[in-house]
Copies of this chain bind each other. A is one copy, B any other.
Amino acid sequence: MKVTINDVASHAGVSIKTVSRVMNNEPSVRKDTYDKVMAAITALQYQPNAAARNLASSRSFSIGYIYDNPNAYYVIDMQRGLLDACRKHGYELLIHPTNAKSPDIVREVIDLVQQSRLAGLVLTPPFSEMPHIAEALEKIGVHFVRIISGSTPSPKLSNCVLVDDFTAAFKITNHLLELGHTDIAFLCGDEEHSSSGERLAGYQAALTKRGITPNPKFIVPGSYSFESGVKGAKQLMNLSKKPSAIFACNDEIAAGALFSARLMNIAIPQQLAIAGFENSPFSRQTWPPLTTAHQPNVTIAQQAAELLFRHAKPNASKMLADKQPVFIPELLVRESTAVSK
């Protein structure tokens, strides 16, 4: 019922100490001994007692995931990916919803890490973009991995997983251009999220490449919310020169724009094409369904956790330590942009 390290040792015909060495990836264990021990571990389904390990070594076997994101689907996907990686490595996941805007957010995070004795932390926006959090974490020597918007790996970003919003936004804009649209507007998300900036840049780059100068009136500041989309679309459709397509910074904004267009009796996509970003579940459930970009969040989270373990595990192989994953969200064409103008 309860398999201890002793059982594994006698089953493998080695000493407890050797099993412990294997469990902790210590060097100087011969290959065949290692294999023998591993075999015993799987045969007996040995699960080390986390509490005992924890207590004896004073390091911990859990990582933390801090979130403050109104998009529940994003959070759930992240969790799923992190959990997968944790299970694989025998770690636990501590989740911590909180308020990123809180004035003592740094202290809160530090407290969490220290009280729960976390081995590491996975940071998603907005936390991954807060320099004082990264600094504080570095100062107390806690490993962390950030998931951020970006396209080019660099040594400075060694503990980051990059999501290439720029390229994905470029592709979406290109899709609209190929449909014949030239007057394409952009509804921004929150300025403080770098994803919004990256997507805007991708949009602008695509236009420029076609020889179109982005029209400043077509770039509407806003936030990642339905309401923002409602307002933004209204503003755009009241211009004397209206856009024929809108690229919204995420699906929620796009849904708002859709809503707004409907109030104004504008036919989608005949009179106005609308594209979103994120592929949230409801992007398929709007009418018409939204063209959008799909982020493989579960996989992204897995990779982030793997990266974290590579840094956090004392003796893990450093071979792969510098692989820096970049994910490019994939274009998903649906009916909100289906018909060319």
Binding site for B on A (CB under 8 A): 47, 49-52, 54-55, 60, 70, 72-73, 75-76, 79-80, 83, 92-97, 115-116, 226, 252, 255-256, 258-259, 262, 281-282, 284-287
- Copies in the assembly, this chain: 2
Chain B residues near A286 (CB, 8 Å)?
286
Q: List 21 A-B contacts (CB under 8 A).
A: A47-B115, A51-B51, A70-B281, A72-B73, A72-B76, A72-B281, A75-B76, A76-B76, A79-B95, A83-B96, A83-B97, A92-B94, A95-B95, A226-B284, A226-B285, A252-B285, A255-B282, A262-B287, A282-B282, A282-B285, A287-B287
- Find the B residue at minimum CB distance from A94: B92
A5 to chain B, nearest CB (A): 13
- Distance of A83 Cα from B96 Cα, bound (Å): 8
- Distance of A50 Cα from B258 Cα, bound (Å): 51
List 4 additional A-B contacts (Cβ < 8 Å) besides A76-B97, A95-B95: A52-B55, A72-B75, A93-B95, A286-B286
> Looking at chain A's contact residues, is the secondary structure mostly helix, strand, loop, or mixed?
helix
User: Would you call B51 and A55 a contact (CB within 8 A)?
Assistant: yes
Contact of A256 among B47, B83, B96, B285 (CB under 8 A): B285
- Distance of A287 Cα from B258 Cα, bound (Å): 9
- Distance of A252 Cα from B92 Cα, bound (Å): 33
> 5 closest A-B pairs (Cβ-Cβ)?
A51-B54, A72-B72, A72-B76, A51-B55, A51-B51
- Find the B residue at minimum CB distance from A87: B96
Contact of A55 among B47, B55, B83, B94 (CB under 8 A): B55
- Distance of A80 Cα from B50 Cα, bound (Å): 25
A47 to chain B, nearest CB (A): 5
User: Would you call A80 and B52 a contact (CB within 8 A)?
Assistant: no
User: Would you call A95 and B72 a contact (CB within 8 A)?
Assistant: no
- Distance of A49 Cα from B117 Cα, bound (Å): 10
User: Would you call A95 and B75 a contact (CB within 8 A)?
Assistant: no
A44 to chain B, nearest CB (A): 13
Contact of A80 among B97, B252, B282 (CB under 8 A): B97
Contact of A255 among B80, B115, B285 (CB under 8 A): B285
Chain B residues near A281 (CB, 8 Å)?
70, 72
- Find the B residue at minimum CB distance from A282: B282
Chain B residues near A76 (CB, 8 Å)?
72, 75-76, 97
A78 to chain B, nearest CB (A): 11
Contact of A52 among B51, B97, B258, B259 (CB under 8 A): B51
Which of A83, A97, A285 has its CB near the most chain B CB atoms (within 10 A)?
A285
- Distance of A50 Cα from B97 Cα, bound (Å): 21
